Amino acid sequence: MKNLFYIFIGGGLGSVLRFLMSHYTQKLWNINAFPMGTFVVNIIGCFLIGIFSAYFVKIDNYLKFLLITGFCGGFTTFSTFSAENISLWQSGEYIILILYVVLSVILGLGAVYLGLNVARN
């Protein structure tokens, strides 16, 4: 139960920081239609999950729930997606890696498109 509390706190903090960073980055670097705010948040999130994983994934404590699952999960799920892909690559699961990346992008775009159309009708 304690780990859920840490995930809750980390996720809330990560979500608020994602909004603030994305919003102000987009205002600062408004490069045509490029979603710079989301891009910057995703890259920073990937960097952070790499650091946190190196330190906390092997330790059985609540910092991994607060920082990896909670904060990074709330900050960006792209960081989790990227960390999972690195894990597949490191374990030699190349076909699953390619399948995961391709299906995630194609089905993700398709799901957003479908959701938009369902909501409009």
CA gap 39, 14 in Å, rounded? 16
User: According to the annotation, is 73 in a ligand binding site?
Assistant: yes
User: According to the annotation, is 76 in a ligand binding site?
Assistant: yes
State how far the alpha carbon of 87 is from the alpha carbons of 95, 103, 118, in Å: 13, 17, 35
CB neighbourhood size of 30 (10 A): 11
Query: Annotated binding residues, as ranges?
Result: 73, 76
Query: Annotated binding residues for Na(+), as ranges?
Result: 73, 76
